[in-house]
Chain A
Amino acid sequence: MSKQALRVFSLLFFLTLLPGFYSVCHSADPIVLGVPTSLGFLEGKEGLACVNLAVDEINAAGGVNVGGTMRPFKVVAIDARGAEPGVPVAEVIKAHKKLILEDGAKFIVFGSFRSEAAIACMDLVSQYKIPMLLGTAMSPEMQKKVTQDYDKYKYTFRVCLNAVYLIKYLGGTMGYLNKKFGFNKVFIMDQDVAWARKTGDLMISMVFEKMGWQVVGRQTYPTGASDFSSGLMKAKAGGAQVILPIFDMPQSGILVKQWNAMKVPALVAGFISPLAGPAAWKTFDEKIEGAINAIFEIGNVPVKKVPKSVDFFEKYEKRYGKPIEAGHSPAPAYEMVYLLKDAIEKARSVDGDAVVTELEKTDRLGAMGRIKFGKDHQVIYGEDPAENAMGCMIQWRQGKRVVVYPESVAEGEIALPEGLKAVK
């Protein structure tokens, strides 16, 4: 073979391989998922871990099929510290902007920790047409904005529970306590953040006033507070039978320890973030017996009647060597990556508008139950895991978390801790 013929043959050979090289290079072009959350808070830390878990599973299975090209997900996380006291909303917006403009994020996953910042970021993601899926922020203001100006705010979705659905679970629990034990006097202790204040307000207007309960008092604590004696003394003085706590800060677990030490004769039933996970029993010196706590999304706690929640919980433990401790966010964080994958594959593109259209059609059976978005871009929560996503209430008994509400997934009934008596 002459040198000339060899050159021509080599050229043809490389030209033949070129599309293959292009394909390989192109398939390696990752789809960047920006995660701007508060990693100093348990929900943020475990939420990011769940995003990574889902991304690794998807990438190990070949990635995301974008119009015939397999592309992996790539996670770029920023500790935006939005959950911490004193961190201004502008800092969180900056973190979102950096992810979009510098890191090339095509999607914002998990989003800002606090509603105050998440709502402010809705304008930003709308400006760049970047779909954003929220996993922690709970204020219903987000849905209001989507409904009022759909074209502008359609890029924002929420996969986790919101304050209104939380009220339904808490309200149902209060109804249960009234029916079974005759309780009708409550003292509310909440955190001075948008979602908790809103939840407290709505509990009064949507639950207690309608059910004829007496709200004997309400005390709001700043984020970071660790002495709850004033509220507990007021609850005792006011004759409260139930204390409704609404907190997501790490220090709030101390409330139950103080409740135990001060022997306040009222049942604690609400949401205290540190009380959700299995480590709480040991952490709080076994002094949380009888406390009832909301788990915002099942999967964060394994629910026997929803096998996928058990699978997810075990998968997490196997991967990270420790169980999920947060009662809010991990399951939605995991599921939202799969929702995006499905939407991108159906849209055959990473274009924001096309993906939004497909996200709206979501119908997936996952760790949280059946996941579907409402017209306001909020995942619909209910009481039947075959029909809707679900949260639940657990009660601490002898170091174990027993699912006590809703009835559809309950594994036991609510029992009063020692020293408390029914009033009927």
Chain B
Amino acid sequence: MLLGTLIYGFVNSCLLALLAMGFNLTFGISGVANFSYGAIYIFSGFAAWIFLNSAGLPYALCVIMAIGLSATLGVLIYHVVIKRVKGLALSEVMATFGLGLAIMELFRYFDFVGFKYTLPNLIEGSVAIGDVYIDYQRIAVILAAIALTGFIYVFTHYTRTGLAFRAIAQDERTALTFGMDSDHIAALSMGFGSALAAAAAVVVLPLGTIAVEGGYDVLLNALAVCIVGGLGSTVGILVASVLIGYAQTITANYLEPHWMMLVSLIAIAIVLCIKPSGIFGHQKELEERI
């Protein structure tokens, strides 16, 4: 049981990191509020499903198309919705959250309900670690989380575009004086964040079904990880994912699974009371102290 808890806790941690990655990039690093994140995640899943089952395309192509389409959707959302209310944090949140609701409910309206909406595993089969079996799809989740975390860290610290993502969040006016087009960068950030949501979707959704309600859970989990870890901190995301992931698995294994949903909420409450900027959050730390 202990080994199982360690293995499945790690898988759960990686899964949370994967879900939070795109949200952190857009909202945490670039400061663009994208509360339609959960909807984009679900959109990607349904897009891949439609390409696969209705168009009959090869799965690898479906995955690439779903990621591309989601990135395009993210850019469109920025230009059509967010740009108009940019700078008004509350309006950004309200507009994107409302749009997310609309996207998800549209899927429900068009009858995308039922258990038939599943994506195939990237790799079939399972492997034993001690006496605990783990399927290859969960191993794919671990690998994808590690790869994407590494990619984001390198991207936001060592590439011009990645540095620009951080710059517009730190001080948009200064970034403008350096010749950065903040609208262009923010739109790109939305595109990247949405592509990451899609990448997470095609890796995580084969473990379950594509359900409209899943979008709300994804947003809640991403928000919890980002708040606990600290918005904008890739290391913070990892630490928070491990903390929440293991806390959830231990709760499920040694208490009851229906307490699992409380773990994220309690973690948010505790962090907001003790250190509102999150464990590794620095952006607002000075303001908090003042």
Contact = CB atoms under 8 A, between A and B. Distances in A.
Interface stretch (B153-161, B205-213, B269-277): B205-213
Interface in B5-63: 8, 12
A194 to B, nearest CB: 14
Interface residues of B, number: 37
Contacts of A280: 115
Contact of A262 (B118, B126, B256, B260): B126
A230 B8 contact: yes
A253 B126 CA distance: 18
Interface in B236-267: 249, 252-253, 256-258, 260-261
Nearest to B254: A230
A40 B212 contact: yes
A251 B209 contact: yes
Contact of B108 (A40, A42, A251, A262): A40
Contact of B133 (A39, A42, A225, A261): A261
B86 to A, nearest CB: 32
A253 B253 contact: no
B113 interface: yes
A423 to B, nearest CB: 20
B213 A233 contact: no
Contacts of B285: none
B212 A231 contact: no
Contacts of A263: 126, 128, 133
B213 A261 contact: no
Contacts of A229: 4, 8
Contacts of A234: 1, 253
Interface string A8-44: 0000000000000000000000000000000111100
Interface string B123-149: 011101000111100000000000000
A84 interface: yes
A230 B257 CA distance: 8
A252 to B, nearest CB: 8
Interface residues of A, number: 38
Contacts of B115: 42, 250-251, 253, 273-274, 280, 283
Nearest to A237: B1
A42 B257 contact: no
B113 A42 contact: yes
Contacts of B4: 229-230, 233
A221 B261 CA distance: 11
A222 B113 contact: no
A283 B116 contact: yes
Contact of A219 (B113, B116, B209, B256): B256
B116 A233 contact: no
B261 A254 contact: no
B114 A42 contact: yes
A69 interface: no
A321 interface: no
Contacts of B252: 227, 230
A275 to B, nearest CB: 9
Contacts of A274: 115, 209
Contacts of A220: 256-258
Nearest to A231: B257
Contacts of B121: 285
B257 A251 contact: no
Nearest to B1: A237
Contacts of B120: 285
Contact of A230 (B111, B118, B134, B253): B253
Contact of A233 (B1, B114, B256, B260): B1
A320 to B, nearest CB: 12
A250 B132 contact: no
Given A224-B217, A226-B209, A230-B253, A40 B113 contact: yes
A52 to B, nearest CB: 15
Contacts of A250: 113-115, 209, 211
A42 B113 CA distance: 7
Nearest to A282: B116
Nearest to A218: B256
B257 A224 contact: no
A222 B211 contact: no
Interface in A298-326: 325
B255 to A, nearest CB: 10
Contact of B207 (A192, A221, A226): A226
Given A254-B207, A254-B209, A285-B121, A45 B260 contact: no
Interface of B: 1, 4, 8, 12, 108, 111, 113-116, 118, 120-121, 124-126, 128, 132-135, 207-209, 211-214, 217, 249, 252-253, 256-258, 260-261
7 contacts: A42-B115, A225-B257, A230-B4, A250-B113, A250-B209, A263-B126, A284-B118
Interface of A: 39-42, 45, 84-85, 192, 219-222, 224-227, 229-231, 233-234, 237, 250-251, 253-254, 258, 261-263, 273-274, 279-280, 283-285, 325
Given A234-B253, A250-B209, A325-B114, 7 more contacts: A225-B257, A226-B208, A233-B132, A250-B114, A258-B135, A261-B125, A262-B134
7 tightest CB-CB pairs across the interface, nearest first? A226-B208, A274-B115, A261-B135, A230-B252, A250-B115, A222-B258, A233-B4
